[in-house]
Amino acid sequence: METFKYSRAQDVSQAVQAGAQSATSQQGAQVRFVAGGTTLLDLMKLNVERPAQVVDINRLPLDKVEKLPDGRLKIGALVRNSDLARDSAVQSDYAVLSQALLSGASAQLRNMATTGGNLLQRTRCMYFRSTETACNKREPGSGCSAIEGENRTLAILGTSSSCIATNPSDMNVALTALEATIHIQGTKGEREVAIQDFFLLPGNTPHRETVMEPGDLITFVTLPAPRPGTKSVYLKLRDRASYEFALSSAAVVAEVADGKFRRVRIAMGGVGTKPWRSLEAEKALEGKKVDPAVFREAAHAALRDAKPQSQNGFKVELAKRCLTHALTLATQSA
Amino acid sequence: MDGEKKPGTQEEEPLLGRVSRRSFLSQLGVAGVVATTRPLAAAAQQMPAETAQDTPGPGIAGAVPVSLKVNGKQMTVQVDPRTTLLDCLRESLQLTGTKKGCDHGQCGACTVHVNGRRVNSCLSFAVMHEGDEITTIEGIGQPGNLHPMQAAFVDQDGYQCGYCTSGQIMSAVALLKEPCGPADADVKELMSGNICRCGAYPNIVAAIQQVRQRA
């Protein structure tokens, strides 16, 4: 690991000012915020991240979960994954989020990882994590080793000829299905970004993963007020029963009335270069009967544009079955 | 030794009459194989060197002070900002019960409690823990006065080589205070962050269930 200057931010504006000294807040940032540290330290030990300055934001007052008067849920960026998963409002109104969080990582890591940090979790693509190999995300222009290499766990949706790395987060998939809003404090003030617009497709700039600019600090995430009659489910399929990244996962937030889908939101994990919202699946479900044949049609629609690589063709069928099963679970006792 | 004791470092066990496995092995490292043929008491005379090793002093470029409450004792050390909590515990404070396995948060061998919650000490910088209360395996029980979880691991033979054991036990002790269903499967899920390469899992689960059932 390279040397760096360590400082502790006393307030949000101090953190923003420190972050603004960086030329980028994406791959290769000279200034990094550290909260849980679970991604940053890992990548710094691998020399994939080499910040000259690390700003500790753990003392900032962003560690609360609050119900807002209008019914929305406001989640501080420093709320730990384990606390968020066990929050009573999350468990009762946003079950998909609690389930997604508890399916991720280990109990120890969930005690460390934060809401803001998990939004910025980096891919587990082995070529990104190894400085020995070419990777356009880590070293723009160097090429993608994964396309003709080990790509069994990598993405089949949203890929480009530059990058096929998967977004590894479970939380992000649930937040996408819940249509979360990301609140960012930057040098020009505060702004809100819909989660759908927060993550970028790799295209030919895979080193740019989000809309975050130098000085930007995620302060909160808000969730829309829960809708009565909504049921939500997160289903994760993986190589091991626990403590493993998703090969495919599905987040379903469904409002069913009179045996029909009134409103449904679908997001998938383990298959996309970003947390994958499937408008196609939603369209195939809304207004339709709650019926296994409809589920399969929606799953087919969700994977219609899938582009499997040499080793991950199985993910197309796996993702379809995952979504079909998640829809079954979400509508079982509705 | 009192005169040489650094602020915030553990006092070593009395040297004569009690030589720990670690201090013995460490001595071998210092004096070489020849030491094995010498009486232990003579070898032990060189022991104070161990506490002085690897403790970055104020002279180290970029070193910063950090105060931690480790196993109930207030300690202040100077560390390079790159020092992980794990390395600080092992190298600066000589609390070597906490083990380094993968050093990337994948194996759980480095599990300690920070303010009562279990974490991977390898994925945290020591400087981030100013004022925090750290509990390591040395802080939960000692020979002759084992924590019930340590005793249960002995009862149930919850280990083979023992390298992952302190992390397993620290994780298991934290689990007792977390929401966890009654079944073995619930325990397995919440212990999945601790890898045992020897495969002692059934006995580890049995040890944890023994403590939970007797609680």
Over residues B154-168, mean pLDDT: 98
A45 Cβ under 8 Å from any chain B Cβ: yes
Write the residue in A4, A112, A243 that is nearest to B120 by C-beta: A112
Q: Which of A3, A38, A242 sits opposite B82 (nearest CB)?
A: A3
Q: Which residues of A touch B82 (CB under 8 A)?
A: 1, 3-4
Q: Chain B contacts of A38, Cβ < 8 Å? A: 105, 120, 123
Closest partner CB to B189 (pick from A5, A45, A242)? A242
pLDDT score at B215: 80
Q: Do A42 and B123 touch (CB under 8 A)?
A: yes
Phi then psi for residue A34, to 5 deg, are: -120, 130
Q: List CB contacts (< 8 A) between A4 and chain B.
A: 81-82
The pLDDT assigned to B61 comes to 75
A88 touches chain B (CB under 8 A): no
Angle at the Cα of B136 from the Cα atoms of B134 and B142, rounded to 5 degrees = 130
* Tokens linked to A95: 């079950």
* Domain ranges within chain A, ordered by starting residue: 230-331
CB neighbour class for A241 (10 Å; exposed up to 12, middle 13-18, buried from 19): exposed
Residue B183, chain A, CB below 8 Å: the answer is no
| Half-sphere exposure of residue A130: CA atoms within 13 angstroms, side-chain side | 10
Question: What residue ranges define each of the domains in chain B, with the CATH number in brackets?
Answer: 2-52 (no CATH), 64-140 (3.10.20.30), 148-214 (1.10.150.120)
Position B3 scores a pLDDT of 38
| A203-243 confidence digits (pLDDT tens) | 999 999 999 999 999 999 999 999 999 999 999 999 999 99
pLDDT for res A41: 98
Residue A274's pLDDT is 98
d(CA A171, CA A159): 21
Q: Which chain A residues in 123-182 lie under 8 Å from chain B, judged by CB atoms?
A: none
Q: Which amino acid is at B162?
A: G
Rounded CA separation A185/A166 (Å)? 27
Q: In what order do the strands lie in the sheet with A217-223?
A: A65-67, A73-76, A217-223, A181-186, A189-194
ipTM: 0.96
Looking at the complex, does the CB of residue B188 fall below 8 Å from at least one CB of chain A?
Answer: yes
Any B CB within 8 A of A64 CB = no
Q: Over range B161-171, report the average pLDDT.
A: 98
pLDDT beyond 60 at B15: no
Which residues, including other chains, have CB under 8 Å from residue A156's CB and lie 6 or more apart? A271, A272, A303, A306, A307, A308, A309, A312, A315, A316, A319
pLDDT at residue number B58: 52
- Are the C-beta atoms of A299 and A321 separated by less than 8 Å? yes
User: CA–CA separation, B83 vs B122, rounded Å?
Assistant: 9
Give A56: exposed, middle or buried? Use CB within 10 Å, 0-12, 13-18, 19+: buried
| Cross-chain Cβ contact A243/B190 below 8 Å | no
Q: Which residues of A touch B174 (CB under 8 A)?
A: 107
Residues of A in contact with B188 (CB under 8 A): 241-242
In CATH terms, is domain A230-331 a member of 3.40.50.970? no
What is the pTM assigned to this prediction? Answer: 0.90
Instruction: State how far the Cα of A174 lies from the Cα of A265, in Å rounded to an integer.
Output: 10
In three-state form (DSSP H/G/I as H, E/B as E, the rest C), the secondary structure along chain A is CCCCEEEECCCHHHHHHHHCCCCCCCCCCCEEEECCCCCHHHHHHCCCCCCCEEEECCCCCCCCEEECCCCCEEEECCCEHHHHHHCHHHHHHCHHHHHHHHHCCCHHHHHHCEHHHHHCCCCCCHHHHCCCCCECCCCCCCCECCCCCCCCCCCCECCCCCCCCCCCCCHHHHHHHCCCEEEEEECCEEEEEEHHHHECCCCCCCCCCECCCCCCEEEEEEECCCCCCEEEEEEEECCCCCCCCCCEEEEEEEEEECCEEEEEEEEEECCECCCEECHHHHHHHCCCECCHHHHHHHHHHHCCCCCCCCCCCHHHHHHHHHHHHHHHHHHCCC
- Mind listing the pLDDT tens digit for each residue in B103-138? 999 999 999 999 999 999 999 999 999 999 999 999
Beta bridge partners of B68: B75
The Cα B111–Cα B196 span in angstroms is 13
Exposure of A139 by Cβ count < 10 A (0-12 exposed, 13-18 middle, 19+ buried)? middle
Residue in A123, A65, A83 with CA at minimum distance from that of residue A274: A123
- Sign for the pseudo-dihedral over CA of A76, A78, A81, A85: negative
Predicted confidence (pLDDT) per residue in A282-328, tens digit: 999 999 999 999 999 999 999 999 999 999 999 999 999 999 999 99
Q: Is A319 left (phi over 0), alpha (psi -120 to 50) or beta?
A: alpha
Distance CA A154, CA A138 (A): 16
Percent over 70 (pLDDT), chain A: 99
Give the pLDDT confidence score for residue B17 in this predicted structure.
Answer: 47
Whether the pLDDT of residue B6 is over 60: the answer is: no
B53: how many CB neighbours lie within 10 A of its CB?
11
In chain B, which residue ranges form alpha helices assigned H by DSSP?
21-31, 40-44, 49-52, 85-87, 137-140, 148-156, 165-175, 184-190, 201-214
pLDDT, one tens digit per residue, over B73-89 is 999 999 999 999 999 99
Task: List b or e across A268-296, with b for residues whose CB sees 16 or more CB atoms inside 10 angstroms.
Answer: bbbbbbbbbbbebbbebbbebebeeebbb
CA distances from A57 to A18, A50, A218 (A): 11, 18, 11
What six digits make up the tokens of A139? Answer: 């070293």
pLDDT above 90 as % of chain A: 99
Q: With contacts defined as CB-CB under 8 Å, which chain B residues touch A52?
A: none
To the nearest whole number, what is the mean pLDDT of chain A? 97
- Number of A/B CB contacts below 8 angstroms equals 85
User: What is the pLDDT averaged over residues A28-54?
Assistant: 98
Distance from CA of A41 to the nearest CA of B (A): 6
Distance from CA of A107 to the nearest CA of B (A): 6
B117 to chain A: closest CA residue: A111
Whether the CB of B105 is below 8 Å from some CB of chain A: the reply is yes
| pLDDT 10s digits, B18-48 | 556 665 555 554 444 433 334 344 433 443 3
